[in-house]
Chains A and B, each alone.
Chain A
Amino acid sequence: DAMVIQNPRYQVTQFGKPVTLSCSQTLNHNVMYWYQQKSSQAPKLLFHYYDKDFNNEADTPDNFQSRRPNTSFCFLDIRSPGLGDAAMYLCATTLSGLNTEAFFGQGTRLTVV
């Protein structure tokens, strides 16, 4: 009964080759987040969707894009992965406007070779 599911768990991509990470949720939450987490660092918010509205963090590189075709699914596209993009990518969801926590997926570990 996983609620936030990320696929794949592990992804290896070549330097410069576009890659897409996926996230799905069964919670019907209207807010979905993508975080980047590097070793021994805090999860860093890349962007989030509030319903269909996309909200980019000011310091998120243009190399990172996102799509949310419907409430349940959200994708993270890395257009030209560099070695510095190797990290754990976490998807999370929540309900807006309420004191609800964020629910996280298990993450996708991205390796760039």
Chain B
Amino acid sequence: GQNIDQPTEMTATEGAIVQINCTYQTSGFNGLFWYQQHAGEAPTFLSYNVLDGLEEKGRFSSFLSRSKGYSYLLLKELQMKDSASYLCAVRPDRGSTLGRLYFGRGTQLTVWP
């Protein structure tokens, strides 16, 4: 089976930095994705890691340690619009036409003024 864990809720204040952790145990590993989802809306792609290390993209960074089955999403200079659910997802399959994702339950982030 696939097991992906992340905290249920987090809160932070505007302008601060927050780190959302994700641990995974999956049947295989071929990439880890972070998605942002506002209530009632579609998930939108934020970041992708397949090798160990940090990937930075503007205010968002994502880190991966494959040996530890661990990733985090770092959000800097928080804004009110960052209040959303953040979903960690693992792609377990290799192969050029296989891409299913297994998602964690999501971390609901609330940003306070």
Are A and B genuine complex partners? no
User: Which residues of A line the B interface, CB within 8 A?
Assistant: none
